Amino acid sequence: MKSIAVFCGSSIGASEAYRQGAILLGKEFAKRKITLIYGGSSIGVMGTLADTVLQEGGKVIGVIPTLLAEREISHQHLTELIIVNSMHERKSKMMELADGFIALPGGPGTLEEFFEVFTWSQIGLHQKPCGILNVNHYYDLLISLFDHMQNEQFLQPQYRNAVLVDSDVSGLLEKFSSYTPPTIKTYRKN
Ligand code: AMP
């Protein structure tokens, strides 16, 4: 796995644990020579993650739309900063550049980005792994919601299981290495 896109908060969160989670992931990327693809911002969990990969000698590619370049304070010291015209272009560029996707803690923007890659994997638009790094139990409620969706038959077990979850960075990356994509989603009549 040469590059992974990470979706994460433009805020740093209430607990120091979120910063530490970003630092642990960033160090592991640099150690494993995985290029970080991310939203190009210098603030929040995004900024901490990018700074860590760079400090540890790794490569970081940021993808930011002109609309947000100033507002989110784009990072000025990345290996490469790609400026795009729209949010849609940002997501498709990140999808094209990455071999897999990870969500770190974040807000609605993070979830929107993660759900797009997850749902695109269900319908076979890509075969890349999607994972959640469950730092500080942040995503416990979302994971319960996935279980609820499966129990209520709105999410098939193979797609539920396709979302790789771990609270440990190495554990999650090992799951990425042995990932087998699910078969493409089919639909049945009521
Ligand atoms: P947040 O998790 O809300 O702090 O946002 C994290 C990142 O997601 C930021 O870089 C936002 O610009 C980005 N973002 C917010 N809304 C969207 C959206 N609708 N589509 C794609 N990215 C978004």
pLDDT digits (tens, 9 = 90+) for 56-91: 999 999 999 998 888 878 999 999 999 999 999 999
The pLDDT, as a whole number, for residue 82 is 97
C-alpha 188 – ligand 1 centre gap (Å)? 33
- Testing ligand 1's pocket by substitution, the residue of 83, 110, 115 carrying the most ligand atoms inside 8 A of its CB is 110
Q: What is the mean pLDDT of residues 27-54?
A: 98
Q: Are 122 and 182 spatial neighbours (Cβ–Cβ below 8 Å)? A: yes
- Write out residues with Cβ below 6 Å of ligand 1: 9-11, 39, 41, 68, 72, 87, 91, 106-110, 112-113
C-alpha 75 – ligand 1 centre gap (Å)? 16
182: confidence class by pLDDT, cuts 50, 70, 90: confident
The pLDDT, as a whole number, for residue 187 is 78
Average pLDDT, the chain: 96
pLDDT at 185 over 80: no
Going along the chain from its start, the domains and CATH numbers come out as: 3-177 (3.40.50.450)
pTM for the model: 0.95
C-alpha 108 – ligand 1 centre gap (Å)? 7
- Ligand 1 atom closest to the Cα of residue 44 is 4
Q: What is the mean pLDDT of residues 16-30?
A: 98
- Separation CA 56–CA 47 (nearest Å): 14
The pLDDT, as a whole number, for residue 129 is 98
